Amino acid sequence: MKYEGRLFRPPSEAKSLIIQITIGCSHNRCTFCSMYKEKKFRIRDIEEIRNDLNECRKKYTSVGRIFLADGNGLSVSNADLELILKEINDIFPECKRVGIYGAPKDILRKTDKEISKLKELGLGIIYLGIESGSDKVLSQVKKGVTAKEMIEAGKKVVKSGIILSTMIISGLGGKALFKEHAIESAKVVSAINPNFVALLTLLVEPNTEIYDDINSGKIKLLTSKEVLDETEIFIKNIDVDKCVFRSNHASNYISLAGKLPEDKELLLDLIKEAKNEEYDLKEEFFRRL
């Protein structure tokens, strides 16, 4: 089995079999992201993917989950995605769930019928990087999509019955936009009402545009306490039903987890406690482990 470049996948896919159906990211212009910069985007040939699946079948007696990498796997045509899912069903009949990253515009390009067909063939979860609900922040980081498009894409997945896992990046708007980032992100997530929402905290990587913006003073990073303020605003303004909330990624200064709306006050109490000067927040070094 061949895997090109560095491997990236959602934390919840840690035990999944990773199969590349694309190389790199079809957008690959986000200022904060260094994940696929060394790769030139392309969609892999179906025969290559089939060979990888067959090779893995020889190595693994049981595969419960499969994740289709790299970025923006839903940029692959529905005809090819259907073939891939059928191959998975034939080769790994025991597989209970297939996951994939989905960019908003790739989701919007597919019809409701096409997405329903993918669900029928075993696509169980789509990961949508919202990053921010603020159009100002989305434009600043060159996400290439508006908040309105993000909502439309998210709702489309929810309507299909496929599990939708979304992500917001705390601190992405810097000091100038942190309140807008928190409030507008809560609005977008509330409008979508996803199954999962994860709150990560910005990690600045060298050789990214945002790294240069920060060094030049164009963007000012939030302090750890300001990140907590932003998180508090986000949680106060979010209005969802039966949504699992997670902010326990390595990048986060404190670990938060719960279900919304029932655990909202508990989460806010934990943030209030963490803002106490005697509370030891995670050190920067440990946020990168």
Give the pLDDT band of residue 234 (cuts 50, 70, 90).
very high
Q: Is residue 6 part of a domain?
A: no
**C-alpha to C-alpha distances, 180 to 188, 190, 229, 230, 268, nearest whole angstrom:** 12, 15, 12, 9, 19
Q: Is residue 3 part of a domain?
A: no
Q: What are phi and psi of 215, to 5 degrees?
A: -65, -30
Q: Tally DSSP H helices, then E strands, for the chain.
A: 10, 10
Q: Is residue 256 part of a domain?
A: yes
Structural domain range at position 117: 11-288
Q: Are 60 and 18 in contact (CB under 8 A)?
A: no
Give the pLDDT band of residue 282 (cuts 50, 70, 90).
confident
Q: Is residue 163 part of a domain?
A: yes
DSSP state of 195: S
For the entire predicted model, the pTM comes to 0.95
Q: Is residue 147 part of a domain?
A: yes
Q: Are 251 and 203 in contact (CB under 8 A)?
A: yes
Q: Is residue 180 part of a domain?
A: yes
Q: Is residue 231 part of a domain?
A: yes
Query: What are the tens digits of pLDDT across the range 250-261?
Result: 999 999 999 999
CATH classification at residue 86: 3.20.20.70
Other beta carbons within 10 Å of 277:
5
Other beta carbons within 10 Å of 278:
5
Query: What are the tens digits of pLDDT across the range 80-92?
Result: 999 999 999 999 9
The tally of domains found in the chain comes to 1
Query: What are the tens digits of pLDDT across the range 102-149?
Result: 999 999 999 999 999 999 999 999 999 999 999 999 999 999 999 999
Q: Quick one: pLDDT at residue 278?
A: 63
Q: Is residue 2 part of a domain?
A: no
Q: Angle at Cα 247 formed by Cα 23 and Cα 145, nearest 5°?
A: 45
Q: Are 230 and 178 in contact (CB under 8 A)?
A: yes
**C-alpha to C-alpha distances, 184 to 147, 148, 177, 188, 237, nearest whole angstrom:** 9, 11, 10, 6, 9
